[in-house]
Structure 1
Amino acid sequence: MKLVGISGALIGAKTAKMVNEVLIRAKQKDPDLDIELIDLRDYQIEFVVGKPLESYNDDTKNVIEKIVGADFFVIGTPVYQASITGALKNLFDHLPTTVFESKVVGYVSTAGSNHHSLVAENQLRPILSFFKALVASKNVFVSNDSFNSENEIINVDVDRRLSELADELLFLQQKLKG
């Protein structure tokens, strides 16, 4: 089984850190699990302009192929201007509409304050529903005060919730695969 994490941030490290934490925790619980982090900071994903996928650059094609080939996912986004990132939305616009169909997807979101705690729930969940994903229930929101200056998680509740999300993703995926 392949669990792919997608960090939808183009700057900063907190979102990628959160997504990677879920990947690592899932791998610790299932050593046979294949994990991969797609950190959008590492790729030059072109803007969608309506042309076929093969017409886009290699980074765009490579990332889409990795996502299409995965069995289940954890997606992360920081909250900018009370919304998910444009980079993540652009990535979704590249994906075939069946990419998450009947696949388990969890998510994490980060923001400067708790005022943005429901952004992912109100914006990311409907997108995942459009893609017919099986959305996890133990998704995690984290505000900046849960990190220290080295971007390490210092909030024990967040730490616990990340483990619970990893557990839920594995449980749902195993049940789905029978």
Structure 2
Amino acid sequence: MKLVVVSAGLSVPSSTRLLADRLAAAVERQAPAPVDVHVVELRDLAVEIAQNFTSGFPGRTLAAALDAVTEADGLIVVTPVFTASYSGLFKSFFDVLDKDALAGKPVLIAATGGTARHSLVLEHALRPLFAYLRAVVVPTGVYAASEDWGAPGLQERIERAAGELAGLMTGLSGARPGPSGANESETSEEERAARAEAAADFTVVPFEQQLAALRPAG
């Protein structure tokens, strides 16, 4: 399985990258199959992202990053909080990504900030963004404020979110067509026949008729 981590941290070292690495490691621990992790550092792509807006074409390094995200089985995205939202660099990267690239793709959202008061950035900014891109956002988002590092609750959230992402990645990977074009998770002939028989017996009762049956006689 291919896991791509998008980190929008700007400093070196970066708490954003640290959180991204801890999330990726947790996914690797919980995934039932080997995970190939690829990290995209947006700091290194800032110039090419800006040029993409003006030229309409990505540079070589940016194109490779966009392809990696498109081909991934799962995605971890981590941004620092700037002005109560994701950073401009983070948003710009997903602005130049193809609009269909994340459709149906499992995504774990995470953010870092100096204070716990910005924790709602996950629900008010990141989750709507990836819902718009038609990604499958895992239920648990991970926010790490300065005081969270070393606190027991952070690792618990990391493990829970990583487990959710690993589960989605495993399910989607197992449902992919094999080399012959057949879906390896298809049901048997007997199961399909049983479903067809059940569907044949299914009758649609108009709402008016259902309502009349509930009324008292007379």
**Is the counterpart of residue 173 in structure 1 residue 169 in structure 2?**
yes
**1:120 Cα deviation from its structure 2 partner:** 2.4
* Matched-pair contact (CA < 8 Å) for 1:7–1:16: yes
**Is the counterpart of residue 7 in structure 1 residue 7 in structure 2?**
yes
1:27-42 mapped onto 2 (5 Å cutoff):
27-30=28-31, 32-42=34-44
Question: What TM-score do you get using the length of structure 2 for normalisation?
Answer: 0.73
Aligned partners of 1:113 and 1:36: how far apart in 2?
29
Query: Cα deviations across residues 75-124 of structure 1 (Å, max 9, x unaligned)?
Result: 00110111100001110111001111011001111111111011121111
Partner AA of 2:159 in structure 1 = S
**Is the counterpart of residue 143 in structure 1 residue 155 in structure 2?**
no
* Matched-pair contact (CA < 8 Å) for 1:72–1:103: yes
Partner AA of 1:7 in structure 2 = S
Q: Which has the larger radius of gyration?
A: 2
The structure 2 residue matched to 1:124, chosen from 119, 123, 126, is 126
Identity %: 26
Bigger shift: residues 138-147 or 38-47? 38-47
2:117 counterpart residue number? 115
**1:169 Cα deviation from its structure 2 partner:** 0.2
Partner AA of 2:101 in structure 1 = V
* Matched-pair contact (CA < 8 Å) for 1:15–1:109: yes
Aligned partners of 1:164 and 1:79: how far apart in 2?
22
Structure 1 residue runs of 4+, over 4 Å off?
A: none
Aligned partners of 1:134 and 1:81: how far apart in 2?
26
Which runs of 5 or more residues in structure 2 are unaligned? Answer: 176-218
* Matched-pair contact (CA < 8 Å) for 2:3–2:72: yes
* Matched-pair contact (CA < 8 Å) for 1:9–1:87: no
Aligned partners of 1:169 and 1:50: how far apart in 2?
35
Aligned partners of 2:114 and 2:59: how far apart in 1?
33
Which runs of 5 or more residues in structure 1 are unaligned? Answer: 148-153
Q: Choose between structure 1 and 2: higher helix proportion.
A: 2
What is the Cα-based RMSD across aligned positions, in Å?
Answer: 1.6
Question: What TM-score do you get using the length of structure 1 for normalisation?
Answer: 0.88
Aligned partners of 1:127 and 1:61: how far apart in 2?
21
Work out the number of aligned pairs and report it: 170
2:135 counterpart residue number? 133
**1:65 Cα deviation from its structure 2 partner:** 1.5
2:53 counterpart residue number? 49
* Matched-pair contact (CA < 8 Å) for 2:42–2:93: no
**1:125 Cα deviation from its structure 2 partner:** 1.1
**Is the counterpart of residue 21 in structure 1 residue 17 in structure 2?**
no
